[in-house]
A and B are shown apart, each in its own frame.
Chain A
Amino acid sequence: MLQVLRLRAKAMEAVRQFFAERDFIEVETPAIVPSPGLDFHLSAFEVRDSEGATVGWLATSPEYQMKRLLSGGAERIFQLCRSYRADEQGRHHEREFTMLEWYRAHASSEAIIRDTEGLVAQVAKTLGSPEAAALCPPWDRITVNEAFDRHAGQVIDADDEELFFRVWAERVQPQLGGERPVVVTDWPASMASLAKLNENGTADRFEAFFRGIELCNGFGELTDAREQRRRFELNQAARSQAGLPVYPIDERFLQALERGMPESGGNALGVDRLLMLLTGASSIQSVMPFPAEEL
């Protein structure tokens, strides 16, 4: 227990130092938000008051509020916070987990990938991780299609999303980042979420993998309010059709995009997974002082 506490404290310190050296401001945004992530495959915890009225949802990520800060003029911000996801429980999932999220205004996803490499390598070094050598930058790059071709011997069209993710989960992801981390880019446009599109029509989204485990999900951020509203409405329609709860659209976030958000890059990194990988643990629960099952 004490070992876990020390590990976490030291890691947080290393993260804060990394961003302080790069002139980032550490920010705090609320845990209870008027709208959680609207992605079809995300499920949020609803928060009610004593009369049973819905107050909001626990944030699935601090993205909307952090982007409002970008729109308001903040240029380099990071946050270490809890994020909450209902119905996610497993060796690499907890309903409540620690997220490191950061944004750079006037920057591309490329700058964020470099941040990610540098940050992970620095934390690994600070903690004296046996993986420190393997995590040295630069990391390998591969597109989604190349990853499918290399590890499953076929490219799967994203129109059949279930097959796409089934083959991804069974055959591709377990092979990614076996020896050194790999950054997977060029995701299908239908999975762009809050990312802009690349000139080649794919989403400007990247995920880094190490030892078959997804470490982070970053974007070249979508700044077009109208396109963002269109995607939210598509998400809502899909959720409604599937009988899932339909979360409201965060209008203040869209207003912030309308007022103008600079071209930005951002990333969300699972701190518990990072600590698991750096220590060679077999689950995120073993690097958490209070996993849900032990509460």
Chain B
Amino acid sequence: MADTSDIKKGFKMLIDGVPFAVVDHQFVKPGKGQAFIRTRIKNMITGAVIDRTFKSGEKLDQADTEERTMQYLYPEGDSRVFMDTRSYEQLSLTNEQLGENALYLLDGTEVDIMLFEGRPIGVTPPTFVELVVTETEPGFKGDTSSNTTKPATLETGLQVNVPLFVNTGDKLKIDTRTASYVERVKG
């Protein structure tokens, strides 16, 4: 069994059956008193971040989580099918489970899937993806002062604000952490 000495950034523990990941931690020990570990932990299912203080030496339940790199294969009804790049094992996630991450998926995109007790609970897409613009209004010449961006729809349905020079058919580099335009990709 783990205890507080195992706590470090990213350590995953089970509290009342819910997996939490350590975001930040600090050893505190009042002069003549008991030592504690103050932590900031993230609920891995809801994403909520809470503060929790543990007595130094307190036993902890390590959460049975596993992160696997998987490749997106194809849509199937309301779900998307992924394949483990090592074991070739397949797994499907509903669009609801994927949320906005579904908007970064192209055939072959590799994502990290977090499994808790064998069930998928989270998806991390690549930091940058390249997507083609399917729809955007042509830029207006000369109008560069007031309106320097315009909306564009990309091949996965993702909508981002882009500079005026971007045209339908351009390939764009997108930062998935902020869902924002980075640059136009040549070729």
Interfacial residues, chain A to chain B (CB-CB below 8 A): 39, 41, 87-93, 161-162, 164-166, 168-170, 173, 187, 191, 193, 207, 214, 217
Q: A93-B27, A165-B30 are in contact. Are A41 and B38 (CB under 8 A)?
A: no
Q: Inside 8 A of A92's CB, which chain B residues have their CB? A: 26-28
Cα distance, A268 to B140, chains bound together (Å): 71
Option from A90, A93, A168, A170 in Cβ contact (under 8 Å) with B33:
A168
CB-based nearest B residue for A213: B28
B11-34 vs A, Cβ < 8 Å mask (1 yes, 0 no): 000000000000000111111111
**Beta-carbon contact of B34 and A193 below 8 Å:** no
**Beta-carbon contact of A191 and B33 below 8 Å:** yes
Q: Inside 8 A of B31's CB, which chain A residues have their CB? A: 207, 214, 217
**Beta-carbon contact of B27 and A89 below 8 Å:** yes
What total of A-B pairs shows CB separation below 8 Å? Answer: 59
Cα distance, A93 to B33, chains bound together (Å): 14
Q: Inside 8 A of B56's CB, which chain A residues have their CB? A: 87
Q: A90-B27, A93-B27 are in contact. Are A169 and B53 (CB under 8 A)?
A: yes
Q: Inside 8 A of B51's CB, which chain A residues have their CB? A: 170
**Beta-carbon contact of B33 and A41 below 8 Å:** yes
Nearest 8 pairs of A and B residues by beta carbon: A90-B27, A165-B33, A165-B34, A217-B31, A169-B28, A191-B32, A169-B36, A170-B53
26 contacts between A and B (CB under 8 A): A41-B29, A41-B35, A87-B35, A88-B35, A90-B29, A91-B26, A91-B27, A93-B27, A93-B29, A164-B33, A165-B30, A165-B33, A165-B34, A166-B34, A166-B36, A166-B53, A168-B33, A169-B36, A170-B36, A173-B28, A173-B30, A191-B33, A193-B32, A207-B31, A214-B31, A217-B32
Range class of the B interface residue count:
10 to 19
Min CB distance B135 to A, Å, is 48
